[in-house]
């Protein structure tokens, strides 16, 4: 929870709302429909791995991100936003649209945009960094005005609405990381489908299969490029090309996924650290500790004590 203005004096709310939006999203101007009346905002931001769930319920407002703000403070993130109540008004790239309750639209936070509603309203969105999305910018722009044309539209809209509704419990559960990964795959599939990017869709299908296979077998010590390539029915060379075009190292991604799994276990499991490390494919506890500290900024023991202080 970033902000609930019911906890603040009316004269402090405008400044608090501005600060909350700078923290939760791309820098923008927050324009209140009735600045002479007490504003009401409830702003939440939750993390699911590399994906963030952002929610806002408020009195009438407008979020205006100017071209100058976009140039000076680029935010390479896209948001898929579902209107939860009220009617949203969205404008970006010269296109204007109304967003009724239950419907979804796309916002590229790296560009200027204008979004808001009149009266009481609410919206929830998933925010995805472009570096992990791995979808070309031109594909995103083609998809923006064609989301309804994708057979995945309703599936993804309902998924985003569910995430926004139950963000607190989902983000604090043990399944937060894999849920974020699944959400990332759904967003990627929706965009490539809506943009009719057939070449990228084929590659994305293979990447989805790759990620699913790795997550299913992540704790198995013999998981490696040869085995993954055989499971996907491609050559090892093509597997590496696929990962290269997607902008990630297969081996480093697997290690990162294993570290995330170990970190989740350390927060709930009192087994020896070496046992948990071995469970997640790390034969050398010293190597595990070094990689853990490099990735998360603390040792496995320090992380565990912060979560299980009695251990």
Phi (first) and psi of residue 282, to 5 degrees: -105, 105
Burial status of residue 191 (CB atoms within 10 A of its CB: 0-12, 13-18, 19 or more): buried
Considering only residues 118 and 201, tell me which one the structure prediction assigns the higher pLDDT.
Answer: 118
pLDDT band for position 166 (cuts 50, 70, 90) = very high
- pLDDT bin (cut points 50, 70, 90) of residue 203 is low
pLDDT for the residue numbered 200: 59
Number of C-beta neighbours around residue 224 at 10 A: 13
Q: What is residue 201's predicted lDDT score, i.e. its pLDDT? A: 57
Token pair, residue 118, equals 């009149």
CATH 1.10.10.60, applies to 258-311:
yes
> Which one, of 221, 284, 214, 287, lies nearest residue 253 by Cα?
214
Cα separation, 92 vs 258, whole angstroms: 39
pLDDT in tens, 232-278: 888 898 888 888 877 778 898 899 889 999 999 998 889 999 999 99
* Selected residue with higher pLDDT from 111 and 310: 111
Share of residues in the chain with pLDDT > 70 (%): 96
Q: Taking the model in full, what pTM does it have? A: 0.65
Residue pair 256/295 in contact (Cβ under 8 Å)? The answer is yes
Architecture of domain 3-196: Sandwich (2.60)
Q: Provide the residue ranges of all domains of the chain, joining segments of one domain with +.
A: 3-196, 258-311
- Same CATH fold assignment for domains 3-196 and 258-311: no
> What tens digit of pLDDT does each residue of 269-304 get?
899 999 999 999 898 899 999 999 998 999 999 999
Instruction: Report the side by side order of strands in the sheet with 113-117.
Output: 29-32, 61-65, 113-117, 88-92, 95-99
Checking if the pLDDT of 209 tops 90, the result is: no
Mean pLDDT, rounded, for 169-181: 89
pLDDT tier at 161, thresholds 50, 70, 90: very high
């Amino acid at each position: 929870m970033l902000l609930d203005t019911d906890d603040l004096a009316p004269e402090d709310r405008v400044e608090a709302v501005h600060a909350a939006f700078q923290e939760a999203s791309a820098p923008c101007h927050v324009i209140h429909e009735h600045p002479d009346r007490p504003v009401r905002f409830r702003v939440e931001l939750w993390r699911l791995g590399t994906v963030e769930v952002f929610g806002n319920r408020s009195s009438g407002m407008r979020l205006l991100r100017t071209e100058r703000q976009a140039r000076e403070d680029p935010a390479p993130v896209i948001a898929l936003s579902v209107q939860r109540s009220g009617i949203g008004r969205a404008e970006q790239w010269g296109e204007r649209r109304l967003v009724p309750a239950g419907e979804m639209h796309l916002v590229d936070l790296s560009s200027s945009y204008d979004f808001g509603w009149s009266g009481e309203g609410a919206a929830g969105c998933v925010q995805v960094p472009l570096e992990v999305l791995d979808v070309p910018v031109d594909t995103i722009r083609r998809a923006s005005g064609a989301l309804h044309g994708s057979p995945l539209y309703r599936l993804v809209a309902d998924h985003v609405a569910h995430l926004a509704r139950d963000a607190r419990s989902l983000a604090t559960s043990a399944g937060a990381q894999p849920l974020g990964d699944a959400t990332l795959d759904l967003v990627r599939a929706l965009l490539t489908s809506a943009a009719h990017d057939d070449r990228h869709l084929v590659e994305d299908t293979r990447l989805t299969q790759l990620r699913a296979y790795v997550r299913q077998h992540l704790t198995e010590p013999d998981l490696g490029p040869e085995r993954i390539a055989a499971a996907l029915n491609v050559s090892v060379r093509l597997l590496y090309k696929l990962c290269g075009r997607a902008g990630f190292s297969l081996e480093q991604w697997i290690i990162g996924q294993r570290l995330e799994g170990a970190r989740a276990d350390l927060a709930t499991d009192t087994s020896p650290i070496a046992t948990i490390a071995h469970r997640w494919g790390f034969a050398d506890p010293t190597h595990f500790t070094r990689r853990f500290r490099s990735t998360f900024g603390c040792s496995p023991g320090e992380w565990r004590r912060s979560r299980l202080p009695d251990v």
